[in-house]
Amino acid sequence: MSGKTSKLSAIVHCKCPHCRRGDIFTGSMYGWNIQHTKEICSYCAQRIEIEPGYFYAAMYVSYAMNVIEMLFASFITYLIFGPLTDETFWHYLIVIFAGCFILYPFNYRYSRIILLHILSPNIKYKPYYDK
């Protein structure tokens, strides 16, 4: 491989923040192969989980993503069914929880990616892997 890999491309494709080449996850986001976070990058040997418990911070990122998704689902439900009343309560509840359930694998994966690429000062991109 040659050419520079952009940070956005590395985030979207879930690549290592150090080399932007190696995959961070095994398995697919949605499917029968359960996704797991690799311990080290197969391309540059960068340790993905820098220290024990490092990904606990990803829970806070996932929480923020979940809140935004719930607000969006509530807004869409409001546009379709109207304001929250006794009659529309179950519509809101089902749409919000279904959205959380469906987006769980996405949140798991991208909360860790955001933590590694954007919120982690310990892992720096090394452009010499692009050569």
Please state the pTM of the whole predicted model.
0.86
Tell me the average pLDDT across 96-124.
93
C-alpha to C-alpha distance for 1 and 7, rounded to whole angstroms: 16
Residue 35 has a pLDDT of 87
CB 96 within 8 A of CB 73: yes
Which has the closest alpha carbon to 42: 63, 23, 65? 23
Tell me the average pLDDT across 60-78.
96
Domain coordinates in residue numbering, the chain? 7-129
Residue 103 has a pLDDT of 96
Tell me the average pLDDT across 72-98.
95
C-alpha distances out from residue 80 to 65, 99, 103, Å: 23, 15, 21
* Residues above pLDDT 90, as percent of the chain: 73
